[in-house]
Structure 1
Amino acid sequence: MTHSPHDSELRAAARHIGRRRFLTATSAAAALAFATNLPTAQAAEGDPRSITRDPFTLGVASGDPRPGSVVLWTRLAPALFEPGNGLPDLALPVSWEVAHDERFSRIAARGTTLAHPEFNHSVHVDADQLDADRRYFYRFRTGGWISPVGRTRTAPATAADNGSLSFGVVGCQRYDQGHWTAYRHLADEDLHAVFHTGDYQYEYAVNSTAGARAYPAGTLPPILNRETVTLDDYRLRYALYHSDPDMRAAHAAHPFIVTWDDHETENNYAGDHSENNDPPEEFLIRRAAAYRAYWENMPLRAPQQPTGPDMRLYRRLHFGRLAQFDVLDTRQYRSVQAPGPNWQAPHPASADPARTMLGAGQERWLQDGWQRSRALWNVLPQQVVLSERRDQPTPDYLVSHDSWDGYAAPRERLLAGAEAAGIENLVVLTGDVHVHYGFDIKRDFADPASRTVGVELVGTSISSGGNGSDRPANHDRLLASNPHLRFYTARRGYLKVTLDREQARADYRTIPYVNAPGAPLATAASFISPVGNPGLRPA
């Protein structure tokens, strides 16, 4: 791993902060903020007329729709890869508008906020006093510059008897492994929202040709050709990712509801345990930088703003009486994976009831939310495969210990909690594995005849893993090993999911290649799961 020069300073600072002090002392957050150069907003206000280049190069986004509000996001960056993005170390006023029409002749809400340099000149506006279940258009202004126009949509009223809801499911977009044509197609879908299930960015170095994108040599600057470790590293990587025009189109078309997986920080990390077993006090400094950059670059509200290495990302959204979405975080609080390789035989540690995937607080929050839910559909957007996934149909099978198979006791608690709360229409949304899967969730995976208690819809990657294939080499073996697996393909793309009063429908969208732009869109398969009788059937 290549470290930036500033990394040695961070690590030197970390050695003077013990692990217990990191996790328990009241001064921990302040000490960590100092060590990672994460001050609160305090810069003097500047004159936006001094901006001489377009500052809206990263586009616009919206997210976390509620019945009367939605988050609006942008980040000022006239020069993506220059220090400070080509802006002065001053807070810059940014005005925003929400309108009923694309010409902005009927304004619904407007205001002005400050883009602070301490937050990399990002803007997070909680635009409220809007109507429920309505499409809006929005834009930003600063100096003489006007942003692209974005389109968003508020959620239905909590008590509304709404009849249908459509949303996208995306994840895993490694920049240097292919073009993001799937996002361009996603922008054309008619959706209420898009759920991002993690791996929004990857920490690995990106060379000057952007890997599989095969740009002309020298297109990207050398500063990107190192692993992300410091706050500046992560900020630069998000600038690269947001610069992609297909991603900008998708963000401008739909509100996004995001959660992270591992690569937003580091591959396969678990809580304060890093992939390479770094001292926790060192890894938490890196995690603080990653979490800060994540919040700066996502359409998230102020309650999600991190404090040092901690960030409350799990949250609940209601879409009328039709659906309750409990967005989970399976990285920040989990127990460390069982010792040994990721794919191994079931490990005794996985059955230890002391182990956790969600942490005690998030588990209680989920169970309480399920107990109070009055929604027809209860949906869990989360990161790693929940259903059992054996690699072969023999007694010496292996499972992935980074997924819920490595956390069998926490999985049992989750399924028992859903059962105790009377959850009849459970839908789990998953990413991580760069393939499309469709699972029936069994109450007892060891018994194929066990009751089906919900369905798991796993969305493939936008680009991670390259082109993929329609029928991967292990296709037949995996289906034979897991009778509850109903569908499997390894092309890139996304999911479109539609919920109504009768069924859930999953359309598995795919594209044939990502090593070149312009791939056409197809629907590889469609499945339904009826209300009150869960289980995937071909549509």
Structure 2
Amino acid sequence: MIPHPTRRATLQGALAATSLLAMPGLARAQSRPLITHGVQSGDVAHDGAVIWSRADREARMMVEWATREDFANAQRVQPLDLGTPTDGTGKLTLRGLPSDQDIFYRVTMADLTDLNAVSEPVTGHFRTAPRTARDIRFVWSGDTAGQGWGIDRDRGGMRSYATMMRHRPDFLIHSGDTVYADGPLQPEVTLTDGTIWRNVTTDAKSKVAETLDEFRGQFLYNLLDDNVRAFNAEVPILAQWDDHEVTNNWYPTESLAADDRYSVKSAALLAARGARAFHEMMPTRQSQEEPNRIYRKVAYGPLLDVFFIDLRTYRGPNTTNREEGGTPFLGDAQIAWLKRELTNSDATWKIIASDMPIGMMVRDGEAAMENGANGDGPPLGREQDIAEVLSFIKHAGIANTVWLTADVHYTAAHHYSPDRATFQDFEPFWEFVSGPLHSGTFGPSGYDNTFGPEVRFAKAPAEAQGQNLPPSMGLQFFGLVDIAADTGVMKVRLMDVGDTELWSVELEPIRT
């Protein structure tokens, strides 16, 4: 009997396979398929999850799962044939799993021209969501490989992923900017201390992404990092997008005529390709009605529902954002969905995972505004969508909503209250900001008083440090959330890459 390989052994095999990516001819010459970029799980439920992997050729993706690490009780699911239309990537949805259970899964690839030629297996792990109350721990952050800071292996690669994994979270909420499709990498960057940052480089990261293959290459680049692949094999990813999955500050009707880097001038065309690559490369559950839809709910037992919103796809143009009649931000269909799902939620805590913060002012050039905030005063422009959601939450009696986000490349805790706000038809709530995971650090931002934000904590570069600080400066951030089964208390901690707790708060649930 051939012994089953350990998770460590199969992970090492996947890393060795990935080292051949720079030599595709050599990889192709292998007699058996290769799993090129490890495995991922995502959108975990009480009875299933999505499993992702990628082969170096047309292949049959075969997945087994078990509740034992030695796979003694393994069950195989229906295989999936992968071809060139998806660049060798595949997603399989596991169903019928036991709830609140450690699940070990194993992926192998068989060559479609010779099904006896099978890859080395790669294994992964996740825990299904509970049906009854249990302690929950998760992490969130955003912004991976931006502003010219890619994988420097001599500096440990994307170290935030290794730091997060030490906390053994149930899942990661990736709050957007999962890649930087508009951010080409230089092989070397000279830092202010005179040392050299040396990026791993690929063809896809040598220019802005325009073709579908170039967008795919943005995601595959991040998966070259040892820390990222090790994290993905152990922790489910619940991902949303923001702007850099397409191009900086984009909106659907935008023309890139003035940007000489792009031969494709339609932001809508770039967004369609970026969205397809996002869903091919991320372990997301996709909607039959709208396959590229980002917004969705992930239910995680009686204590937690997570509502992922999309502030990018349905927005109007970037203007001064002061239109009295409002301008689209979430869009009517998404607002209706969010109201309906919040109303139907029985979970103690309702996390609204947003790709942008509410009260921070982020500009797009001199006059235009990028997010919702637009300066002091009543809700105008995009703020009217936010006001509608907040007012609905109050009048529908929906308790215990917390907003989590990233985007601004520093970490902060914001408390919003009508007592400080111009618009007052809402209940007080918290918003927590974290990031970047592995990008340049910026900030701080300005705020407006429309919804009365109060900064309870913030950590951003000091004025003397400047902006776009490299990851080696240590100002890389993530959030850590614990929800206690016995009390329902949510503890939120803001952490840095060195695993230092910067600030924390405990939130008591309102019992309804």
**What TM-score range do you get, normalising by the shorter chain?**
0.7 to 0.9
Distance in 2, matches of 1:286 and 1:448, equals: 36
Q: Does 1:369 align with 2:322?
A: no
Superimposed CA distance per residue, residues 187-243 of structure 1 (whole angstroms, 9 cap, x where no aligned partner):
2222221101100110221223488795669x5345531111111211222211111
- Native 8 Å contact 2:390 2:426 kept in 1: no
Aligned counterparts, 1:343-492, within 5 A: 347-349=321-323, 351-353=324-326, 355-386=327-358, 388-389=359-360, 401-406=369-374, 407-443=382-418, 445-446=420-421, 452-466=427-441, 484-490=454-460, 491-492=475-476
- Native 8 Å contact 2:38 2:229 kept in 1: yes
Aligned counterparts, 1:37-436, within 5 A: 51-52=30-31, 55-77=34-56, 87=57, 91-142=58-109, 143-157=117-131, 160=132, 162-174=133-145, 176-177=148-149, 179-203=157-181, 204-209=183-188, 214=196, 220-222=201-203, 224-274=205-255, 282-303=266-287, 311-339=292-320, 347-349=321-323, 351-353=324-326, 355-386=327-358, 388-389=359-360, 401-406=369-374, 407-436=382-411
Deviation of 1:64 after TM superposition, in Å, equals 0.4
- Corresponding residue number in structure 1 for 2:503: 525
- Corresponding residue number in structure 1 for 2:23: none
- Native 8 Å contact 1:267 1:275 kept in 2: no
Deviation of 1:249 after TM superposition, in Å, equals 1.5
| Match among 489, 505, 509 for residue 495 of structure 2 | 509
Distance in 1, matches of 2:74 and 2:204, equals: 42
Distance in 2, matches of 1:528 and 1:276, equals: 49
Deviation of 1:404 after TM superposition, in Å, equals 2.2
Deviation of 1:65 after TM superposition, in Å, equals 0.8
Amino acid aligned to 2:280: E
- Native 8 Å contact 2:348 2:488 kept in 1: no
Q: What secondary structure is seen at the aligned counterpart in 2 of 1:95?
A: strand
Distance in 1, matches of 2:303 and 2:489, equals: 11
The alignment yields a C-alpha RMSD, in angstroms, of 3.2
**CA 1:60/1:283 → structure 2, altered by over 3 Å: closer, same or farther?**
same
Deviation of 1:109 after TM superposition, in Å, equals 4.5
Deviation of 1:432 after TM superposition, in Å, equals 0.4
Percent identical among aligned pairs is: 23
- Native 8 Å contact 2:422 2:449 kept in 1: no
**CA 1:440/1:287 → structure 2, altered by over 3 Å: closer, same or farther?**
same
Amino acid aligned to 2:317: V
Point out where structure 1 has 5 or more consecutive residues left out of the alignment: 1-47, 78-86, 340-346, 392-397, 512-519, 534-539
Deviation of 1:428 after TM superposition, in Å, equals 0.6
Distance in 2, matches of 1:269 and 1:184, equals: 31
Q: What secondary structure is seen at the aligned counterpart in 2 of 1:152?
A: strand
Deviation of 1:106 after TM superposition, in Å, equals 2.1
Work out the number of aligned pairs and report it: 437
**CA 1:390/1:122 → structure 2, altered by over 3 Å: closer, same or farther?**
closer
Q: What secondary structure is seen at the aligned counterpart in 1 of 2:80?
A: strand
Amino acid aligned to 1:200: T
Distance in 2, matches of 1:532 and 1:286, equals: 44
**CA 1:270/1:463 → structure 2, altered by over 3 Å: closer, same or farther?**
same
Distance in 2, matches of 1:138 and 1:439, equals: 39
Superimposed CA distance per residue, residues 88-142 of structure 1 (whole angstroms, 9 cap, x where no aligned partner):
xxx3112111111222222144342112210111110001110112111112112
TM-score by length of 1: 0.74
Distance in 1, matches of 2:319 and 2:404, equals: 24
- Native 8 Å contact 1:270 1:336 kept in 2: yes
TM-score by length of 2: 0.77
Superimposed CA distance per residue, residues 131-181 of structure 1 (whole angstroms, 9 cap, x where no aligned partner):
112111112112332243211121123xx3x14321110210125425410
Q: What secondary structure is seen at the aligned counterpart in 2 of 1:508?
A: strand
**CA 1:223/1:376 → structure 2, altered by over 3 Å: closer, same or farther?**
closer
Q: What secondary structure is seen at the aligned counterpart in 2 of 1:428?
A: strand
Q: What secondary structure is seen at the aligned counterpart in 1 of 2:231?
A: helix
Q: What secondary structure is seen at the aligned counterpart in 2 of 1:404?
A: coil
